[in-house]
Amino acid sequence: MSFEPFTVVTSPFVALPMQDIDTDRIIPARYLTVTDRSGLAEGLFADWRVDEQGNQRADFPLNHDDARGAQVLVAGENFGCGSSREHAPWALVDNGFRAVISTSIADIFRANALKNRLLAIDVAAESLGQLLEAGFGTVTIDLVERRVDLPGGTSVTFEIDPFARRCLLEGTDELGFLRSKEDAIAAFERRLEPRP
């Protein structure tokens, strides 16, 4: 499978200044009975975005006019903790997001995000604080240079697993790589036998 390569994104961002945002928050479990992955944006932050009567909550940042077209989500530390549901990055991507920036991102969420071409970026607390305080604005994420250009002219570099970065830059996915190791997998299985 191949995809559009991820190189540089310049986009408005929207900030959720809460820490420990779990994947139940990102998409509540009642949206998980689907058997495909389309249309999940409807469930994105559903209980924060919409009240019990189905009205948009004016005070939720994603509902703000300045969040329109935002492809970058900025959130407090430990983003994506909890359930392993890949529906969380699917919902974010379905809503148009291409990157999440935090000071730390939960392991399973990060792995799921990268497989869906949703870039997960850790930055230092100072940079995150700047973005959270601003609430809205524009950032440029350059995956080639591993750099985020923040509002106000400063830039920070970020770390990313080299393999995940290559897959994103080339628009390839991991399954192709795994399948190319078939000989090694078969050899490993022969070594296993006999095994209880």
Partner 1 sequence: MPTRADTMPSTLYDKLWDAHLVRPESTDTPAVLYVDLHLIHEVTSPQAFDRLRSDGLAVRRPDLTVATMDHSTPTRRDDAGDFLYVTDQARIQVECLASNCGEHQIRLYELGAPEQGIVHVIGPELGLTQPGMTIVCGDSHTSTHGAFGALAFGIGTSQVAHVLATQCLLQRKSKTMRVRVEGSLQKGVTAKDLVLALIQQIGVGGATEHVIEYVGDAVRRLSMEGRMTVCNMSIEAGARAGLIAPDETTFEYLAGRPHAPSADDWDATVARWRELHSDADAVFDREVSMPAAEIEPMVTYGTNPGMSIPLHGEVPAPNGDAAIERALSYMGLEPGVPLLDHPIDVVFVGSCTNSRISDLRAAASILKTRRVADGVRMVVVPGSAAVKRQAESEGLDRVFREAGAEWRDSGCSMCIAMNGDALEAGQYCVSTSNRNFEGRQGRGGRTFLASPLTAAASAVAGCVADPRELLA
- Where does this chain bind partner 1 (CB under 8 A)? 1, 17-20, 22, 24-25, 28-30, 32-37, 47, 52, 77-78, 81-86, 89, 104, 106-108, 111-112, 115-116, 161-163, 166, 173-175, 177-179, 181-182, 184-185, 188-189, 192, 196
Residue 144 beta carbon to partner 1: minimum distance, rounded to whole angstroms: 16
- Token representation of residue 60: 């939720």
Nearer to partner 1, 132 or 148 (CB): 132
Nearer to partner 1, 104 or 127 (CB): 104
Nearer to partner 1, 126 or 161 (CB): 161
Backbone angles phi, psi at 152, to 5 degrees: 95, 0
* Amino acid (1-letter code) at residue 63: N
The alpha-carbon radius of gyration of the chain (Å, integer) is: 18
DSSP H or E segment with residue 110: helix 107-114
Nearer to partner 1, 22 or 149 (CB): 22
Residue 102 beta carbon to partner 1: minimum distance, rounded to whole angstroms: 10
Strand locations in 7-135 (E): 8-16, 72-75, 99-102, 119-122
Residue 65 beta carbon to partner 1: minimum distance, rounded to whole angstroms: 24
Question: Tokens 């609430």, residue?
Answer: 135
How far is residue 195's CA from residue 87's CA, in Å, rounded to a whole number? 36
Nearer to partner 1, 78 or 138 (CB): 78
* Amino acid (1-letter code) at residue 112: N
- Residue 64: name the closest of 2, 14, 8, 122 by CA: 14
Residue 140 beta carbon to partner 1: minimum distance, rounded to whole angstroms: 26
Residue 165 beta carbon to partner 1: minimum distance, rounded to whole angstroms: 10
